[in-house]
Amino acid sequence: VAMAAARRVMRAVRVFEFGGPEVLKLQSDVLVPVPKENQVLIKVHACGVNPVETYIRSGTYARKPALPYTPGSDVSGVIEGVGEHVTAFKKGDRVFTLETVSGGYAEYAVAAANRVFPLPDKLDFRQGAALGVPYFTAYRALFQKGCAKAGESVLVHGASGGVGLAACQIARACGLKVLGTAGTEEGMNVILRNGAHQAFNHRDPNYIERIKECTGAGGVDIIIEMLSNVNLDADLQLLAHAGRVMIVGSRGRIEINPRDTMSKESSIIGVSLFLATEEERHECATAILDGIEAGWLKPVVGSEYPLEKVAKAHEDIICSSGARGKMVLLL
């Protein structure tokens, strides 16, 4: 009983109703969660902000968490405690996660041990918070669903954000020809420093023509698409024979002509990290940790926000003029 009475409290962001960024409430009296069997408790140093978290918060996403909840999945930090049956981690280990049970926008988070991975010393906690969803999604889109092969070409649409930069680094390291788009000069420079052979400004009215000039008559083999409600129709025109568009993100509907897929026998393939099997997640993790070890995998951290400014972060990730790396909350 004395133990229960002494349970610690922490700062955490709570959502009590679906809506705009203003529904994100920072509270300082949230109970620190306790890890159950096969779970770990992490003292959070940084947490990535992903566009999907804004869709969930607004109530427009297919999966709705029970209210109230704490958003956030990509945390990095240090193991504070482990539940029984956990042997892979001990107190003090540096780790990053793919998802949490209790929510990542908080000083402490509980996660299933099989969704937690060691954070190599080569990366700091800010970079650790940029690994989970972006790199696992990029790897899944390219290889597990897109069947990318060395020598093929890939166009990363929206390449200067977290998933985009991850896709550029991974594709380049695996021998693909990498083209990327961004909305700013700065974004284009970031892409070129992170694996892209060529960068295009998607605000340039003629950028589709410029990509066609670059790929020639052949077209591009794979497109990694972050904003398919805007780009999918044009993407189908850019594909090579048997090319495939990997749908990583969408913010609405779009009209396309299905005949465009027939003329090239091309494919439109949806990507959801949420549906990955245990084996697939393990394959992603192995590839990512190998990439960090080899030195080519280096997450680029963009805007950083304290927990107090979480509403601003949610506004900026959807409305800002151009991404330049992974957005993170620092604790």
The model's pTM is 0.94
Per-residue pLDDT band at 154 (split at 50, 70, 90): very high
pLDDT of residue 322: 73
How far apart are alpha carbons 112 and 101 in whole angstroms?
7
Q: pLDDT tens-digit profile of 185-236? A: 999 999 999 999 999 999 999 999 999 999 988 999 999 999 999 999 999 9
pLDDT of residue 3: 56
Identify the helix (H) or strand (E) that includes residue 47. strand 39-48
Domains of the chain: 9-130+299-330 (3.90.180.10), 134-274 (3.40.50.720)
How far apart are alpha carbons 202 and 161 in whole angstroms?
14
Residue type, 24: L
220-254 burial string, b = 16+ CB within 10 Å, else e?
A: bbbbbbbbbebbbeebbebbbeebbbbbbbbeeee
In this model, does residue 294 exceed pLDDT 60?
yes
Average pLDDT, integer, range 93-112: 97
Question: Do 50 and 97 touch, CB atoms closer than 8 A?
Answer: no
Q: pLDDT tens-digit profile of 46-87? A: 999 998 999 999 999 888 999 999 999 999 999 999 999 999
Q: pLDDT tens-digit profile of 127-153? A: 999 999 999 999 999 999 999 999 999
How confident is the prediction for the chain on average, in pLDDT?
95
How far apart are alpha carbons 166 and 178 in whole angstroms?
12
How far apart are alpha carbons 109 and 44 in whole angstroms?
7
In this model, does residue 4 exceed pLDDT 60?
no
